[in-house]
Structure 1
Amino acid sequence: MCEDHRDGAGPARRALFVTGAAAALTLGSVTFANGAARAGGGHATRTVRGTLPPGSPDFVYLPVEVPSGVREIRVSYTYDRPSVPAGTPGNALDIGIFDERGTDLGGRGFRGWSGGARTEFFLRADEATPGYLPGPVREGTWHIALGPYTVAPQGLAYEVTITLTYGEPGAAAKPVYPPERAKGRGRAWYRGDCHLHSWFSDGRRTPAEIGALARAAGLDFVNTSEHNTHAGHAHWADVAGDDLLVLLGEEVTTRNGHLVALGTDPGTFVDWRYRARDNRFGRFARQIRRAGGLVVPAHPHATCIGCNWKFGFGEADAVEVWNGPWTPDDEVALADWDGMLVAAVREGRDWIPAMGSSDAHRDPDAVGHPQTVVLADDLTRRAIQEGIRAGRSYVAESKNVTLAFTASGGRGRHAGVGERLEVDRDDPVTVRLEVSGAPRCTVRLVTDQGVLYTSSPLPVAGSGVVEWRTTASYAAYVRAEVRHETAAGPVPGALAAFTNPIFLGRR
């Protein structure tokens, strides 16, 4: 083994530059000499140490000069976690890698990302650490990507160790992806969870374990959404079946909010290395759509660092209003979305449907809590996406909760969730909600004026029917909420379910 330990400040800083997105710092190169280590299929190791100050760029690239004849590259890293004053973020350092094709925005050279979920990874032609793409280790300048997510006032001291193993590469396996169609029931309501994490990013469950939990939760479809990597796409084919459609995607995790790319073409990678101020988001929203996916901002009012959505909603196909167990930031997201509905009515423009997903990572996170229930023509990728994009959906906390929401007017006119009831302004309209699986819950009917109807609690059996009469002049739209009991005071209880709106009146 050949070792080279560099102490002190680490490799010299080579350049601070802007990549067309967030500022990035490139360090001096790590080199491996040709020689004896290669002759017998041996390996060589280099260790680099350095310190990143507070205010470091979002990404720091460590170039690695990879010679010919390398079979495997393996990287491990550590960093210090000093004590910090209360209320001050400590150190958190993410990691990934780009190959000899470079680090340009768009990700042509992308080979993997694990964020802060792993302390080491490897990749070679036939296999790679989850989150990383197997493939040949070609000669050229590779880049280890460090992401100083937060830096303590004392700075962030890090150590990166790179090991190259020489020898003949293994045979690369051809990826197999899940089918775009499951058996289905024709035009029907299908339940899905579109925001999930496996061990291919920072989750702790295998795809097989998630598949079993999805079936137990009564789901018909799921969408893969690993943080900043598509490396798991080829590992879900065995999970899919006649009873479970697996869509492929990514959670694009930027410093200014997270985005679910929902149902993209297999092998689609969406870059995340930009902030709202860089004016690059539209480019990648369009890429998602070209790849057949939907653009869905996730947990837009989440309180974690970098989680709050700051790109606006002009590119959104839907918005994830409910994320995991109901919390105050979901309540804010629901109110914000309702405000967007009012703006859409006022300005006569398209509206953005709402969704809900579990964002489940590990036990005890419940897959399918909540779940989006979509009216689709069949259980296919395209049909599910069309139903979501049209807003023909509601969100429920579990498979136990079922809603049927309609509005009807004179001469046999009727409309369902996500649709418009074409009636004159003063024509009488009857809004009807049938509920099951929601014991002791209260129904609220919400319009552009606010909550205009609140029911008595449903019986312990959990089923009931609510009817309310209105006109298009009084309510531009109506949507339904089913809420649990609250302990006290005017604060509403947690959601058991809610619907997308039915619009009333002529366009």
Structure 2
Amino acid sequence: MPRLKHFVEKSREGTYYTIPFTVPENVSRVTVSYSYWQGTKGLLREIHPQNIIDLGLMDEKRRFLGWSGSAHPSIFVGEDKSTNGYLVQRPESGEWSIIVGAYHVVPAGVEVTYDIGFEYHKPGDPESKNYKQDEPEDISSDSANAEPELLFGDLHIHTIASDGALDSEAVGKLARDSGLDFVGLANHNNYADNFCLPDIPGLTFVYAVEWTHYKGHMNFFGDKAPFENSFIANTPEEMEKIINDARSLGAVISVNHPKCPFCPYKWSSMNFDMIEVWNGPMRGTNIRGIKWWTQLLREGRRIPAVGGSDFHRPKDFAKLGNPITAVYSPSRRREDILKNIRAGHSFVSSGVDGARLTLTCGDAMMGDAVRYDKNKKLHLHAEQLRGETLVLVTGSGERVIKHFARGNLDIDIEPKNDNFAYVKAIRGCGKRGAVRALTNPIYFQKEEEEDN
């Protein structure tokens, strides 16, 4: 069994790079195991980290095969089966690459040992064929001409393909039984689940992957394999290329938990399409994310807000379906769902049983732009309120429109000559209470915008 010893210097911390190794002919499975001195373990590892070295793999054509971060000390790729999170394919001979992620490194550096194993075809074995993962049947209904239906989904879920505890089928059934209509399985730097999604009646899977970088996380929605070679980016230019390449394949880019203290968005680039302003249970991290998004709106950016639970396992801090993204879509097809989320025809709420807010202005709905008219009022339709205070947020500030609202209600709101308006439902004292739901904005056009 070949063994590679590799020393990771402190100067490499926060970067990604590759180490080559040779795969001989006639191999049916490649296994890579690794070990190193970790230091602090368990939950304290993220708070007081010592060494955390992540692992991924590319084949002889530099095709990206998968990524497991630091979740598994050993992974394998084979023609009939692979470690969860890695593509199933026949190993071809040539120079393969270990992807090294130097997440945390002590000042003295750390030595990593990689043991590489091969299983070979036996004489008399049938001719090997590349395993092709089937495209699942699109179970969603095709009703493009129908009236928009309100659908509920969770756009940020992890499975055993990365660091979750359940497989895609178990997660899907749990989501459906929880009242969700769609989900996004956004595993860290791998999209293996997108090629073998289960068929679960009543549930639509939106293609997703969480591009997990030490300078911030982003969900890439809409394409099964939004990066073909590697997710590695050590410079702003490489980061921009990954995003632009993914977008050229049809991906929609969403910044995840931008103000998380452990993995905030550190890139200076504003090259994204949506912002996950609400990640998991409502807390200070999300309040800061909403504030950042609102500031971008005030600067003139038109960008939808979404929410996702970041669910990993049952009985965890992050609960499936808390929060949800609720979208008005003409069908349950994944393309229609994503198109309308991208358009901002949606709101975010604490759950399926949480407050439901729909903001319109004449025929325009959330995410749309209308010409400002002081005689045309905003209309808020709200359901399932439980004592929340409703607050109107605009480019010039905030104002309470209803205290301690309960049940269902409809309110007409006089707009101001601002560039946007959205509504949030909060629980607690004053305007700084815990957010329980928020709409996407309606944007107001100036006359010069219409002329263009």
Name the CA distance, whole Å, in 2 between partners of 1:392 and 1:341. 16
Determine if contact 1:126/1:170 at 8 Å carries over to the other structure: no
| CA–CA separation in structure 2 for the residues paired with 1:175 and 1:447 | 48
> CA distance change for structure 1 residues 60 and 434 in 2, over 3 Å: closer, same or farther?
closer
1:288 is matched by which residue type in structure 2? A
Q: Which residue of 1 aligns with 2:450?
A: none
RMSD between superposed Cα atoms in Å: 2.5
What CA distance in whole angstroms lies between the structure 2 residues aligned with 1:267 and 1:285?
Answer: 9
TM-score by length of 1: 0.79
Distance 1:340 1:483, change over 3 A: same
CA contact (8 A) 1:207 1:239 kept: no
Q: For the residues of structure 2 that align with 1:111 and 1:319, how far apart are their CA atoms?
A: 28
User: Is residue 403 from structure 1 mapped to residue 360 from structure 2 by the alignment?
Assistant: no
2:293 is the counterpart of 1:337: yes
Q: Which runs of 5+ in 2 are unaligned?
A: 448-452
Q: Which residue identity lines up with residue 356 of structure 1 in the other structure? A: G
Where structure 1 has 5 or more consecutive residues not aligned to the other structure, the ranges are 1-44, 103-108, 345-349
- 1:483 corresponds in structure 2 to 426
SS of 1:356's equivalent? Answer: strand
1:45-64 alignment runs, 5 A limit: 45-56=1-12, 58-64=15-21
After superposition, give the CA deviation of every residue in 1:209-266 in whole Å (9 maximum; x if it has no partner): 1101211232111122111112222221x2443x111121211112221111111146
Aligned twin of 1:40: none
For the Cα contact (< 8 Å) 1:123–1:135, is it kept in 2?
yes
Contact 2:23–2:95 (8 Å) recurs in 1: yes
Q: Secondary structure at the match of 1:285?
A: helix
Pairwise CA distance, 1:59: 3.0
Partner-residue secondary structure (3-state), 2:432: coil
Residue pair 2:219, 2:254 contacting (<8 A) in 1 also:
yes
Is residue 2:93 matched to residue 1:142? no
Match of 2:76 among 94, 105, 122: 122
- Return closer, same or farther for 1:405/1:72 CA change in 2, 3 Å cut-off: closer
Selected match of 2:53 from 90, 93, 99: 93
Distance 1:281 1:153, change over 3 A: closer
Alpha-carbon deviation of 1:387? 0.8
1:183 alignment partner in structure 2? 141
CA contact (8 A) 2:52 2:70 kept: yes
- Given candidates 438, 441, 444, the residue that maps to 1:501 is 441
Partner-residue secondary structure (3-state), 1:330: helix
Tell me what 1:465 maps to.
Answer: 409
CA contact (8 A) 2:29 2:76 kept: yes
The one of 249, 262, 265 equivalent to 1:291 is: 249
Task: Summarize the Cα distance change of 1:150–1:336 in structure 2 as closer, same or farther, 3 Å threshold.
Answer: same
- Name the CA distance, whole Å, in 1 between partners of 2:9 and 2:359: 58
Alignment of 1:300-449 (within 5 A): 300-305=258-263, 307-313=264-270, 315-344=271-300, 351-363=302-314, 364=316, 365-408=318-361, 413-424=362-373, 427-449=374-396
Shift of 1:352: 0.8
Cα deviation, residue 324, structure 1: 1.0
| 3-state secondary structure, aligned to 1:72 | strand
Sort the Cα spacing of 1:322 and 1:165 in 2 relative to 1 into closer, same or farther, 3 A: same
**Structure-2 change in CA distance of 1:265 and 1:67 (3 Å):** closer
- Report the CA distance shift for 1:392/1:361 in structure 2 as closer, same or farther (over 3 A): same
- Does residue 245 of structure 1 match 2:204? yes
Q: Is the 8 A contact 2:357 2:438 kept in 1?
A: no
Structure 2 length normalisation: TM-score? 0.88
| 8 Å CA contact retained: 1:479, 1:498 | yes
What residue is the counterpart of 1:81 in the other structure? 38
Q: Distance in 1 between matches of 2:410 and 2:445?
A: 21
Please give the alpha-carbon distance, in whole angstroms, between the structure 2 residues aligned to 1:374 and 1:60.
Answer: 39
Q: Which residue of 2 aligns with 1:230?
A: 191
Would the aligned equivalents of 2:359 and 2:422 in 1 still touch at CA under 8 Å? no
2:22 to 50, 60, 65: 65
CA contact (8 A) 1:72 1:122 kept: yes
SS at match of 2:303: coil
In the TM superposition, residue 188 of structure 1 has moved relative to its aligned partner by 1.2
CA distance in 1, matches of 2:229, 2:19: 22
Contact 1:301 1:333 in 2 (8 A): yes
For 1:418, the aligned partner's letter is G
Instruction: Quote the Cα distance in structure 2 between the aligned partners of 1:177 and 1:401.
Output: 35
My pick for the range that moved more, 183-192 or 144-153, is: 183-192
Letter in 2 for 1:92: I
Letter in 2 for 1:199: I
C-alpha displacement of 1:166: 1.8
CA distance in 2, matches of 1:278, 1:343: 23
The one-letter amino acid paired with 2:49 is P
- What count of residue pairs does the alignment treat as equivalent? 434
Higher relative contact order, structure no. (Cα contacts within 8 Å, ≥ 6 residues apart): 2
- 1:35 counterpart residue number: none
Q: In the alignment, which residue of structure 2 is the partner of 1:21?
A: none
Larger radius of gyration: 1
Distance, in Å, in 2 between the alignment partners of 1:288 and 1:65 is 30
**Equivalent pair of 2:220/2:252 in contact (CA under 8 Å):** yes
Structure 1 ranges of 4+ moved more than 6 A: 84-87
**Secondary structure of the equivalent of 1:76?**
strand
Distance 1:195 1:282 in 2: 22
Letter aligned with residue 368 of structure 1:
G
**Amino-acid identity (%):** 26
Residue type matched to 1:449 in 2?
S
Over 3 Å counting, the alpha-carbon distance change for 1:68 and 1:505 in structure 2 is closer
- How many angstroms apart in 2 are the aligned matches of 1:64 and 1:262? 33
Q: Deviations over 1:21-74 (max 9, x none)?
A: xxxxxxxxxxxxxxxxxxxxxxxx123334323112623433222221222111
Residues 374, 309 of structure 1: CA spacing in aligned structure 2 closer, same or farther, 3 A cutoff? farther
**Aligned 8 A contact 2:356 2:384 in 1:** no
Structure 1 CA distance for aligned equivalents of residues 40 and 327 of structure 2: 48
How far, CA to CA, are the matches of 1:122 and 1:434 in structure 2?
52
